[in-house]
Amino acid sequence: MNYIAMNRFEVSKENAAAFEAMWLNRESYLDEMEGFVSFSLLRGPENDEQILYSSHTVWETKANFEAWTKSEAFRKAHARAGQGAPRLFIGHPRFEGFEAIQTTQSSGARAA
């Protein structure tokens, strides 16, 4: 079964556009990694002050994800994190990792 790795980010509304642009314009190097399945940046609930985002990667195995975190590709993808530009999110990202127990897909499903 797959392994899903997520980071949650709380972003102030005034930084939301810059936060999204940062993700949309980055080099991720994920497709260079064995076991990488997919990536999504999710925009979640918001209140008067902030918006919740989640980066969501799917891996064939937890070992594939752990190899990513120790790889040169990971270092390259995160080399500019926290440098130069002002911090766009509140606090620290919150990591959550999950091993899939069951996955069901529609035979007619289309990718977003």
pLDDT for 11 beyond 90:
yes
pLDDT for 70 beyond 80:
yes
Q: Minimum mean pLDDT among 5-14, 31-40, 72-81: which range?
A: 72-81
Query: Which residues pair with residue 3 across a beta bridge?
Result: 59, 99
pLDDT of residue 78: 76
Q: Does 3-99 carry CATH code 3.30.70.100? A: yes
| Mean pLDDT score, 49-69 | 95
The residue extents of the domains of the chain are: 3-99
pLDDT of residue 86: 61
How do residues 77-108 score in pLDDT, each as one tens digit?
A: 877 665 545 678 888 889 999 999 998 888 87
Q: What would you report as the CA-atom Rg of the chain, rounded to the nearest whole angstrom?
A: 15
Backbone phi, psi, residue 31, to 5°: -70, -5
Residue type, 92: H
CA distance 82 to 19: 12
Q: What is the pTM of this model?
A: 0.81
